[in-house]
């Protein structure tokens, strides 16, 4: 039974002594997550293809107590790269406590705004390719699965020897999207379909990995500043998403994008609350309250 002082926020959400891996950690939601975890004491490995961007993110956002460590030249859609990544981390760590499978791409866009079926077909047919759909699914779904599978032994090792760690203290957080829950395509059929698959994959892994003592949950973000939404980032690997650009969409009650702090609170909740399983937490400014899901 907890005493009142045990319920202080810095104790409830402490990541001190924990090791985390964040894919796509060099910008956007991945970098927000790395900052949140490391600011609360974790050693965080940020993963991606672009080494220079990762090194910039690590240098520019160095925390006071934890660490942000870049590992570049990793393509999470390739098994060989995932095996190389696990081996690199095994050389330095006996285990990891948290995997955030965050890497993703936006895929092709074709707005289905034609009433004539022939014109609708032409627009969608000409502006999207099978290859683009396959690339989107490979990055947003397939890589989430194989990244998680690759790290299962290191995650379970955080609870060994038996009894040294609480069951389900090892945790996977996937980054899905509100787009995988809503019925509005937003012109992103490939992305929304892939994120819908990520939502279901999260639930499948949550149920099937219970026997290994590993929790799996998902964050489903709305509009947050990232290279995906803003199309660029600054010299500190941060993006700007003007409130008016979000307000103009007409379906965001908050009339702005999400803040780093709001994503940080959500990630820390799932990282530290061992009693949460298989949940898809939408952090969307109320969008799913106004758009059919």
Q: How far apart are CA 48 and CA 71, in angstroms?
A: 7
For the record, the structure tokens of 235 come out as 């010299």
Q: Nearest-5° angle of CA 44, CA 238, CA 187?
A: 105
**What is the total residue count of the chain?**
293
Q: How far apart are CA 103 and CA 42, in angstroms?
A: 20
Q: What's the pLDDT band for 164 if we cut at 50, 70, 90?
A: low
Overall average pLDDT of the 219-248 stretch:
90
Q: How far apart are CA 222 and CA 13, in angstroms?
A: 23
Quick one: what percent of the chain has pLDDT higher than 70?
99
Q: How far apart are CA 167 and CA 31, in angstroms?
A: 28
Q: What is the mean pLDDT of the chain?
A: 95
Instruction: Indicate which residue of 58, 158, 176, 233 is catalytic.
Output: 176
Q: Which pLDDT value is given to residue 232?
A: 76
Lowest mean pLDDT among 47-51, 113-117, 288-292: 288-292
Instruction: Indicate which residue of 179, 195, 226, 238 is catalytic.
Output: 195
Q: Which pLDDT value is given to residue 34?
A: 98
Q: Which pLDDT value is given to residue 166?
A: 76
Overall average pLDDT of the 148-172 stretch:
87
Whether omega for the bond prior to residue 161 falls within 30 degrees of 0, making it cis, is: yes
Lowest mean pLDDT among 17-26, 162-171, 229-238: 162-171
- Please say if 275 is a catalytic residue: no
Q: What's the pLDDT band for 187 if we cut at 50, 70, 90?
A: very high
- Please say if 249 is a catalytic residue: no
Lowest mean pLDDT among 197-211, 220-234, 239-253: 220-234
Q: Is the pLDDT of residue 25 over 70?
A: yes
- Please say if 195 is a catalytic residue: yes
Overall average pLDDT of the 123-137 stretch:
97
Q: Is the pLDDT of residue 227 over 90?
A: no
Q: How far apart are CA 205 and CA 216, in angstroms?
A: 6
Q: Which pLDDT value is given to residue 206?
A: 98
Break the chain into its structural domains and give their ranges. Answer: 14-290
Residue range 14-290 in CATH 3.40.50.720 = yes
Instruction: Indicate which residue of 191, 218, 223, 239 is catalytic.
Output: 191
Q: Which residues contact 86 (CB under 8 A, 6 or more apart)?
A: 150, 151, 154
Residue 290's closest CA among 175, 189, 181, 191?
A: 181
Contact 184, 291 (CB under 8 A): yes
Overall average pLDDT of the 101-105 stretch:
97
Residues pairing with 172 in the sheet: 99, 216
Q: Which pLDDT value is given to residue 163?
A: 58
Q: Which residues contact 172 (CB under 8 A, 6 or more apart)?
A: 98, 99, 100, 101, 148, 151, 155, 205, 209, 214, 215, 216, 217
């Amino acid at each position: 039974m907890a005493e009142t002082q045990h319920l202080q926020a810095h104790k409830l959400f402490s990541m001190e002594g924990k090791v985390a891996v964040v894919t796509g950690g060099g910008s956007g939601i991945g970098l927000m997550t790395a900052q949140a975890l490391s600011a609360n004491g974790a050693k965080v490995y940020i993963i991606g293809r672009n080494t220079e961007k990762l090194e910039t993110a690590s240098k520019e956002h160095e925390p006071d107590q934890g660490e942000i460590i870049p590992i570049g030249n990793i393509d999470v859609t390739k098994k060989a790269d995932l095996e190389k990544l696990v081996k690199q981390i095994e050389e330095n760590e006996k285990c990891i406590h948290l995997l955030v499978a965050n890497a993703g791409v936006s895929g092709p866009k074709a707005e289905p705004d034609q009433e004539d079926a022939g014109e609708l077909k032409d627009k969608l047919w000409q502006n999207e390719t099978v290859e683009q759909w396959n690339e989107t699914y490979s990055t947003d779904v397939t890589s989430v699965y194989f990244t998680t599978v690759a790290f299962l032994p290191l995650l379970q090792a955080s609870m060994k020897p038996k009894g040294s760690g609480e069951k389900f203290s090892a945790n996977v957080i996937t980054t899905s999207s509100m787009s995988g829950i809503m019925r509005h395509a937003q012109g992103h059929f490939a992305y929304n379909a892939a994120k819908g698959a990520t939502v279901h994959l999260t639930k499948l892994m949550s149920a099937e990995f219970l026997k290994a003592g590993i929790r799996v949950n998902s964050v489903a973000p709305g509009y947050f500043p990232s290279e995906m939404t803003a199309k660029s980032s600054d010299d500190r690997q941060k993006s700007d998403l003007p409130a008016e650009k979000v307000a103009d969409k007409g379906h965001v009650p908050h009339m702005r994008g999400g803040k780093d702090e709001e994503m940080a609170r959500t990630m820390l909740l799932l990282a530290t609350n061992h009693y949460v399983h298989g949940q898809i937490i939408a952090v969307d400014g109320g969008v799913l309250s106004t758009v059919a899901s």
